[in-house]
């Protein structure tokens, strides 16, 4: 028996295991994105630029995918620009939402464009920034480059080899081509002035009603009843009314005086008759 046979057999088994592992870990990015119609134009550009081949050679990548609507702005550019822009959307590290939320502030991540050897300065790096609000933003790591894209959603993940994240806009480093900036925020509109509180108005009105109800109200004039006599005419109003107590005393005294005088005259008449 050849003593080298066991060693050769072990080497063969090891090679089979290595190739099997490579096959299992092969990304095959086109196949992974095949069922997502919303990224059809993105897949077409990966195919046209042959970047899918370089992606499949990697064991760990994160794809910053663009929808059919957002990628339309770069489809009319030159082939070199397309390659540079598309390779800038391939991060050579694994990031899912859990890992992104652990970023303390900002990190610069190497992209596939950096490995091409044609990137200048920091063109081959993408800046990932997590805001205090929790929002995740992306932009070129070039100095003074704006954060133009935001994380919209996690499409799918294959820990820790492949992650596909949807971003809002293409990331174009300065010097590669014309940048695409997000639309400016709407102009500030001051809030409308606060109208008086209806409750306060109602309270004021109810207070006024209470004051009105507490004040003495004018008594309504008594309406004449059907059975009451009609008012006397004006002529009757001018007729003398009943005599007062003083007037009655005066009348009595004058009557007594007349009786006394009459009696005196009668007595005098009798005297004259006897004479």
247-260 pLDDT, tens per residue? 444 444 444 455 45
pLDDT-derived band at 59, boundaries 50, 70, 90 = very high
CA distance 103 to 149: 17
CATH of domain 20-167: 2.30.180.10
Dist. CA 228–CA 231, nearest whole Å = 9
pTM of this prediction? 0.62
| pLDDT on residue 200 | 52
Sequence-separated (6 or more) residues with CB below 8 Å from residue 150: 135, 136, 137, 138, 167, 168
Each residue's pLDDT tens digit, 65-91: 999 999 999 999 999 999 999 999 999
pLDDT at site 248: 45
pLDDT at 168: 98
> pLDDT band at residue 191, thresholds of 50, 70 and 90?
confident
Lowest mean pLDDT among 106-120, 153-167, 247-261: 247-261
Confidence of residue 205 (pLDDT cuts 50, 70, 90): low
Closest among 64, 54, 49 to 28, alpha carbons compared:
54
pLDDT of the residue at 102: 96
Grouping H, G, I as helix, E, B as strand and the rest as coil, residue 63 is: strand
- d(C-alpha 62, C-alpha 91), whole Å: 5
> In which order are the strands placed within the sheet that holds 136-140?
90-91, 61-65, 162-167, 147-158, 136-140, 125-130, 106-110
pLDDT at 188 over 80: no
Average pLDDT, whole number, for the chain? 77
Taking residues 38-60, report their average pLDDT.
Answer: 97
pLDDT higher than threshold 90 for residue 244: no
Residue 93 banded pLDDT, cuts 50, 70, 90: very high
- Burial group, residue 159, by CB count within 10 angstroms (0-12, 13-18, 19+): exposed
Residue with the larger pLDDT of the pair 125 and 196 = 125
């Amino acid at each position: 028996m050849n003593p080298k046979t066991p060693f050769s057999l072990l080497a063969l088994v090891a090679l089979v295991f290595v190739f099997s592992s490579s096959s299992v870990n092969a990304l095959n990015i086109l196949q992974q994105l095949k069922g997502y119609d919303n990224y059809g134009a993105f897949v077409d550009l990966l195919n046209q630029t042959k970047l899918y081949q370089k992606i499949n050679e990697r064991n760990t990548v994160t794809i910053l995918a663009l929808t059919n609507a957002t990628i339309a702005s770069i489809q009319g550019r030159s082939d070199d620009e397309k390659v540079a822009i598309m390779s800038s959307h391939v991060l050579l590290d694994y990031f899912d939402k859990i890992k992104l939320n652990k970023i303390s502030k900002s990190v610069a991540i190497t992209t596939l464009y950096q490995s091409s050897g044609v990137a200048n300065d920091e063109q081959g790096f993408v800046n990932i920034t997590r805001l205090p609000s929790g929002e995740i933003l992306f932009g070129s790591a070039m100095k003074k480059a704006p954060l133009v894209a935001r994380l919209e959603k996690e499409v799918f993940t294959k820990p820790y080899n492949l992650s596909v994240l949807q971003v809002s806009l293409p990331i174009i480093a300065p010097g590669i081509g014309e940048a695409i900036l997000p639309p400016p925020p709407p102009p500030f509109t001051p809030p409308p002035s606060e109208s008086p509180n209806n409750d306060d108005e109602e309270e004021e009105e109810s207070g006024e009603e209470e004051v009105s109800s507490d004040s003495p109200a004018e008594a309504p004039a008594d309406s004449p009843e059907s059975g009451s006599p009609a008012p006397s005419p004006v002529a009757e109003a001018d007729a003398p009314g009943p005599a007062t107590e003083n007037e009655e005393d005066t009348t009595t005294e004058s009557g007594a005086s007349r009786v006394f005088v009459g009696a005196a005259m009668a007595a005098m008449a009798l005297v004259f008759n006897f004479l």
